[in-house]
Amino acid sequence: MKWFFTYILLFITILSHGQTNADTNVSLFSEDFFTYNSSNYIQELAKDMDTLFFNRYEEEILDFEKEDSAKGITKGEILFVGSSSFRKWTNIETDLFPLRVLNRGFGGSTMPELDYYFFRIVKPYNPSAIVIYEGDNDVLAPFLTPVVILKSFDILIQLIKQYLPNTKVFFVSVKPSPSRVDYLKKMQETNLLIKSYCTKTKNLFYIDITKQMFNKNGQIREDIFLKDQLHMNEKGYKIWSKIIKAELLKDL
């Protein structure tokens, strides 16, 4: 447990700055957040924290690298990267055809973990576009406030700007789910912050998939989820594919 409490204290100290209001001025994040340049910030951050947190899905990342080594890397595809809502989207290539996509969703990842693995599962593919889904698991941690989640997203965007400057980025909004209804307010605050950030940033697009996940009475639909009421079934992914495909075709 020592690493866990160390992580909490250091993460809050380094990232929080005491800001929790959804109206925070996001234009200043890059200035006061980046004490290192984009190329070494994650490594420096990892040195200050116990990397058990960052490394918990290392085996999945190694599997991706083994696959790339065996099959070779096809550059220029649309890269989908994020947590299990992407990882479990097994029909993504069919659902989004004729778009050329590569799925690199891993574990039950969070935004800081995606930052950490940027150089291994984002940069090597030199994608034409990147579609991100994170935040669903972040909200479970009390120290990962909406502002801290946004700051972690800002790290990722700064890395992309530096290493993949011509790549368009799409953020898929954090989805509502019956099993996490208690975190809905925090999800909505996170979505609001990231949407605002996206509207002010070139080549960055926000995709809202939440509206069709509620019924006409304003309740989260249960028919589009698996038994765990967290991960989506095929019906749920059909909703996502229609919305995401349309947005990609419009903006690419």
Residue 19, pLDDT > 50, answer no
pLDDT band at 33 (very low <50, low <70, confident <90, very high): very low
The dihedral through the CA atoms of 136, 189, 129, 141 has a sign that is: negative
Task: Measure the CA dihedral 189/193/196/202, to 10°.
Answer: -140
Query: CA 108, 156, 164 angle in degrees (round to 5)?
Result: 120
User: Tokens at residue 215, please?
Assistant: 């019924």
Q: Which CATH architecture has domain 2-16+25-251?
A: 3-Layer(aba) Sandwich (3.40)
Residue 8, pLDDT > 80, answer no
Residue 24, pLDDT > 60, answer no
The secondary structure of the chain in percent helix, strand, coil, rounded to multiples of 5, reads 50, 10, 35
Residues in CB range of 213: below 8 A, 6 or more apart? 175, 176, 220, 221, 224, 236, 239
Mean pLDDT lowest among 7-11, 88-92, 219-223: 7-11
Using a cut of 0.85, tell me whether the model's pTM lies above it. no
pLDDT band at 141 (very low <50, low <70, confident <90, very high): confident
Output 181 or 56, whichever has higher pLDDT: 181
User: Tokens at residue 229, please?
Assistant: 């009421």
Q: Torsion-angle region of residue 76: left (phi > 0), alpha (psi -120 to 50) or beta?
A: left
Exposure string over 96-128, b if 16+ CB within 10 A, otherwise e: beebebbbbbbbbbbbbbbbbbbeebbbebbbb
User: Tokens at residue 84, please?
Assistant: 């299990």
What does pLDDT average to over the chain?
Answer: 83
pLDDT digit string (tens) for 169-203? 999 999 999 999 999 999 999 999 999 999 999 99
Give dist(CA 77, CA 12) in Å, integer: 36
Q: What is the pLDDT of residue 40?
A: 55
Q: What percent of the chain has pLDDT over 90?
A: 68
Q: What residue spans define the domains of the chain? A: 2-16+25-251
